[in-house]
Each structure stands twice: as structure tokens, then as C-alpha cells.
């Protein structure tokens, strides 16, 4: 027997699910959110965005005090790492954030059902309660927001001690001497940066011939150069065929991606970060007839509807970039669509930020994509070496690159590597939402002296008239 009629049951409380629940409640719906983890917030708040950014922030401070304050005339001696304290700060940030979502659920009268949810036929979600027993929720609509999980690498078994996923890499009890990262993407570079700054020798093993393969190639190249200066070693075009835990450490067998003679590498800790896969396990999707695509993601239409009426899906479990803000925007859109409004997500203007130092931030088309799609474009570039504020900060590595349509001047893509790139990209995302041209940014007054002047200068450079280079 179903015990209560809901307008909406959301399965999963990550940034997609919890934001969807809040927006639906704002729109007057009776909402329940089923979460099997003990705390709300999903991957992002518990073991993803938030703890990784806490450690990036803390390790950056440690690195700055040790290596970058002297240039500013600040002498510091006796700097020591208190790893326990750093991890404690990270844990507190996580708890504050997950408690924050619990508070918001109370505020919006959203029922948090603790357990594993499963679609159990039309209008029904069965929950295997964490405390034991089962409860069935009757609902007009279901939104599946179960997110994603670590993609496994055959031959490399994760034990979360010596061979870790991002979750283990967020909680290492001591700084490994030799830290090998498999995968030169978002997680590999961010978690590699944390442990490099804290003293580990870091080697990144990447299958392709470049790191950050989704980003503009110039950004990837520059990032590799800067990170190499920071002491990272890169083995590109290389795959890991096997990993064996020995008393000397983890013995990795590496092979060239294109074939040929292999080599061995020994690590104290190995991080597997080769991507994530949609999480659709034990959800009753097959029984309910919900169609998946060839990558195992729930197939949805432009309104986030699956092929089964009343069942929707958002976030990492559907197509598109696996990013928290993408999941959030879809959560809002689907709640509005269910309420009969016109919810919408503009996939052409979703920023991606890698929170290394310097940061890399990107939105829209890369130069390679424009070439492949045969789009005629203009490019404007401005280096931070010519920006007064970046000089004052002593962080002049990087540049802003703006790609605009050759005929209309409409901005098609922006790629930034440099200090605070993650904040700088916001201006151009907004500009793109408004269909702005490079000239619009070039004619917009930017405060002096700020890093944002580099964005304005890159926009001027699109028309060949930068003022400071």
C-alpha cells in the first residue's frame, strides 16, 4: 500500500536532485527526495566538488606560504603541514554544506526519505529504508537524479587505500611519496595538485596524447607546461595494463597506447581517474521499461522526459557534461516543466572550470570544434603578463582567448587559463546568454586594475585593437 500521494518524488539528493526538490516545492508541489547516503548533497557535496575544493584551497595556501610569499617581501619560516587539521577543515566544510541542504529541505517542507529508491511501476517509488523495511511512495511524477560513479579500469582494482578513486584521494592519512594519477582530466589534475603541493612526486599517466582532452588544445598545452614547472611528470599516450600491490608499493605496468614495449612504474598511492559512469543500478528501470542510451545513460527528450510517462531524469545520469551546475540547472528546468512552465537549459553556455593553479575555464566551442564544424571565426588573445593586477599578484601565467563568428562577431567560445579563471568566465557566460558580440565586451567598462581587464583586452584583440599589447 502506498502511504502518501506526492506530486514529485526525486531519487537522489545531489545538486540535480536537491535543487529540483527545492524548485518544485517553491512551485507548490508536495515533494519527497529519496537518498540512500546518510547525508544530503550527493557526490558533489560529500565526495566531489566541495571537499576537493576545500583541499585545493587549503593546499594552495600552504604552497603560497612556502613558495610564493617571498617574492612579495614576506618572509615566513617554520612552515609545517598539519594534514589532520587540513582534512578536518575539509570535513567541516562538507558537514556545513550537507547540513545546509537538510535545513533547506525543512524550510521547504520536503520529505527526506532515507533509503534506496526504486521505480516500482507507474506512479510508485519503493524505498528500501536505511533503517530496515520498505516504504512505497505514490507520486504523480518521478525525477531520477542518481548521478554517477567512478569508471573502473580493468586490471587496476580500487581498494581505497593504495589504489584509490577520488573518494580515497580526498582522505589520505599521509602524503604519499610517489603519487601516480591515471587519467589527466579534471580529477587527476585537481587531486594531483593537492598532493603535489603537499609534497608528493606526482606522475600523470594519460591515454591520449594530451591532458584535458575536452578543453581547447592551447589551454591543455599551456596547462601541461605550467604543471611541469610545478614538478608534475606526464606520461602521455600511455595506458596502464596492470597494477599489483607489492611490499615496495604498487607496481604499475604501463604500455604505449599505440602498442610497443612497456615499462614499469612504482607508486605509493595510485589514483584512478579515467572518468565516471552513469549510476542506474538497482533502480528498477529495466522492469519499468525506461530506455537507456549506448553509454548506459537514461535517454531523455528536450524536456528531460524518459520514454515512460511521468518518469524524468537529470544530471550525471543523462547525457551532457558531468558538472554540478549543469545538474542544478536541469533540476530547476524539470521542476518548472512538470509545473507546466517553460523550463530550459542552454547547453551552449555551460562553463567548465578546472580548479588547479592556474585555473582553466572554458565555455562554448573550442578552436578545434570550430575548425571541424567549418565555422569561420576570429580569435583574440591577451596574456596575463600584460595585466597590471596579475603582475601585482605575481601570477602572470596564462591568457584569455575569445573566439567570435567572423561575420557577425557573436561570441562562440571563450577559453581562459590564469589566476581566478573560474570567476572570470562568468562574465562571458552571461554575455553568451545575451547573444553578445566580442565588441559588446570590448565596449563594456571594466574596473581597473582587475584581472577582468584581460577579458576586455582579448575582446579588443578579436578586432585587432588591444590597447596593452
* Residues 317-336: x where in contact with ligand FAD by CB under 6 A, - otherwise, as a string: -----xxxx-x---------
Q: Which is nearer to ligand FAD, 15 or 398 (CB)?
A: 15
184 binds, among ligand NAI, ligand FAD, none (CB under 5 to 8 A by kind): ligand NAI
Show the cell assigned to 304. Answer: 528531460
Selection from ligand FAD, ligand NAI, none that 14 binds (CB < 5 to 8 A by kind) is ligand FAD
Q: Does 243 bind ligand NAI (CB under 6 A)?
A: no
Helix (H) / strand (E) element for 228: namely helix 217-229
| Beta bridge partners of residue 31, listed in sequence order | 8
Tell me the helices (H) and strands (E) count for the chain, helix number first. 14, 21
Which of the listed partners (ligand NAI, ligand FAD, none) does 155 bind, with a CB threshold of 5 to 8 Å by partner kind? none
Name residues whose C-beta falls within 8 Å of residue 310's C-beta, 6 or more positions apart in sequence.
122, 123, 140, 141, 142
Among 239, 389, 401, 456, binds ligand NAI (CB under 6 A): 239
Contacts 24+ apart (CB under 8 A), 225-228: 226/358, 226/397, 226/398, 226/417, 227/189, 227/192, 227/193, 227/356
Report if residue 353 touches ligand NAI, rule: CB under 6 A: yes
DSSP 204: E
Specify the residue, 148 or 379, whose C-beta has the smaller distance to ligand NAI: 148
Asked if 42 touches ligand NAI (CB under 6 A), the answer is: no
- Comparing CB distances to ligand FAD, the nearer of 176 and 331 is 331
449 cis-preceded (ω within 30 degrees of 0): yes
Task: Return the residues of window 137-166 that contact ligand NAI according to CB under 6 A.
Answer: 153
* Cβ neighbourhood burial of 445 (10 Å; 0-12, 13-18, 19+): exposed
Q: Which of residues 255-294 bind ligand NAI (CB under 6 A)?
A: 273-276
In 279-410, beta strands by DSSP E: 311-313, 352-354, 359-364, 377-383, 399-405
Single out the segment in contact with ligand FAD by CB under 6 A; choices: 1-9, 42-50, 79-87, 104-112.
42-50
Q: How far is the CB of 309 from ligand FAD (least distance, A)?
A: 21
213 binds ligand NAI (CB under 6 A): yes
Choice from 12, 188, 343, 383 touching ligand NAI (CB under 6 A): 188
- Report the residue number, 37 or 197, with the smaller CB distance to ligand FAD: 37
> How far is it, in rounded angstroms, from Cα 46 to Cα 52?
10
**Is the Cα torsion angle 215, 217, 221, 226 positive or negative in sign?**
negative
Q: Which residue out of 67, 446, 448, 468 is catalytically annotated?
A: 448
Question: Is there binding between residue 316 and ligand FAD (CB under 6 A)?
Answer: yes
Which residue, 55 or 459, has its beta carbon nearer to ligand FAD?
Answer: 55
CA nearest to 112, candidates 130, 94, 97, 95: 130
DSSP state of 116: E
In Å, how far from its chain's centre is CA 269? 23
Distance CA 460, CA 402 (A): 10
Region from 285-293, 320-328, 361-369, 383-391 binding ligand NAI, contact rule CB under 6 A: 320-328
315 lies in the binding site for ligand FAD (CB under 6 A): yes
Does the annotation mark 448 as catalytic? yes
Chain residues in the site for ligand NAI (CB under 6 A): 153, 182-188, 190, 205-208, 213, 239-240, 273-276, 321-323, 353-355
Query: Catalytic residue numbers?
Result: 448
Chain residues in the site for ligand FAD (CB under 6 A): 11-17, 34-37, 42-44, 48-49, 52-53, 116-117, 145-148, 166, 187, 279, 283, 315-316, 322-325, 327, 355
Amino acid at each position: 500500500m502506498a502511504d502518501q500521494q506526492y506530486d514529485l518524488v526525486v531519487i537522489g539528493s545531489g545538486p540535480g536532485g536537491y535543487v529540483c526538490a527545492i524548485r518544485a516545492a517553491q512551485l507548490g508541489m508536495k515533494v519527497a527526495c529519496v537518498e540512500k547516503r546518510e547525508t544530503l548533497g550527493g557526490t558533489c557535496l560529500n565526495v566531489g566538488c566541495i571537499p576537493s575544493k576545500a583541499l585545493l584551497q587549503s593546499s594552495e595556501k600552504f604552497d603560497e606560504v612556502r613558495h610564493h610569499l617571498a617574492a612579495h617581501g614576506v618572509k615566513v619560516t617554520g612552515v609545517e603541514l598539519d594534514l589532520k587539521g587540513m582534512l578536518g577543515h575539509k570535513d567541516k566544510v562538507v558537514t556545513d554544506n550537507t547540513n545546509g541542504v537538510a535545513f533547506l529541505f525543512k524550510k521547504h517542507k520536503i520529505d527526506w526519505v532515507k533509503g534506496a529508491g526504486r521505480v516500482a511501476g507507474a506512479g510508485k517509488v519503493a524505498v528500501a529504508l536505511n533503517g530496515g523495511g520498505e516504504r512505497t511512495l505514490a507520486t504523480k511524477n518521478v525525477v531520477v537524479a542518481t548521478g554517477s560513479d567512478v569508471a573502473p579500469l580493468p586490471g587496476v582494482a580500487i581498494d581505497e587505500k593504495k589504489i584509490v578513486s577520488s573518494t580515497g584521494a580526498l582522505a589520505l592519512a599521509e602524503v604519499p611519496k610517489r603519487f601516480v594519477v591515471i587519467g589527466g582530466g579534471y580529477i587527476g589534475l585537481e587531486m594531483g595538485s593537492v598532493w603535489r603541493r603537499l609534497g608528493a612526486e606526482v606522475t600523470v599517466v594519460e591515454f591520449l596524447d594530451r591532458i584535458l582532452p575536452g578543453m581547447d588544445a592551447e589551454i591543455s598545452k599551456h596547462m601541461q607546461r605550467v604543471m611541469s614547472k610545478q614538478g608534475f611528470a606526464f606520461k602521455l599516450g600511455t595506458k596502464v595494463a596492470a597494477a599489483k600491490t607489492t611490499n615496495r608499493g604498487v607496481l604499475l605496468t604501463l604500455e604505449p597506447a599505440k602498442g610497443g614495449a612497456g615499462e614499469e612504474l612504482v607508486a605509493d598511492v595510485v589514483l584512478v581517474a579515467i572518468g565516471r559512469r552513469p549510476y542506474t543500478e538497482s533502480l528498477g528501470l529495466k522492469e519499468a521499461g525506461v530506455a537507456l542510451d549506448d553509454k548506459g545513460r537514461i535517454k531523455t527528450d528536450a524536456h528531460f522526459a524518459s520514454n515512460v510517462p511521468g518518469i524524468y531524469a537529470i544530471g550525471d545520469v543523462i547525457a551532457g557534461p558531468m558538472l554540478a551546475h549543469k545538474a542544478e540547472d536541469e533540476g530547476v528546468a524539470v521542476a518548472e516543466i512538470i509545473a507546466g512552465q517553460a523550463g530550459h537549459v542552454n547547453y551552449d553556455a555551460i562553463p567548465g572550470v578546472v580548479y588547479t593553479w592556474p585555473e582553466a575555464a572554458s565555455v562554448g566551442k573550442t578552436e578545434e570544434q570550430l575548425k571541424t564544424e567549418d565555422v569561420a571565426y576570429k580569435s583574440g588573445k591577451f596574456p596575463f603578463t600584460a595585466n597590471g593586477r596579475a603582475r601585482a599578484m605575481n601570477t602572470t601565467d596564462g591568457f584569455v582567448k575569445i573566439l567570435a563568428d567572423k561575420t557577425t562577431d557573436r561570441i562562440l567560445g571563450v577559453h581562459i587559463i590564469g589566476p581566478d579563471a573560474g570567476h572570470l568566465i562568468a562574465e562571458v557566460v552571461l554575455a553568451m546568454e545575451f547573444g553578445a558580440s566580442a565588441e559588446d565586451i570590448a565596449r563594456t567598462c571594466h574596473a581597473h586594475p582587475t584581472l577582468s581587464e584581460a577579458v576586455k583586452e582579448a575582446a579588443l584583440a578579436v578586432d585587432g585593437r588591444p590597447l596593452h599589447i
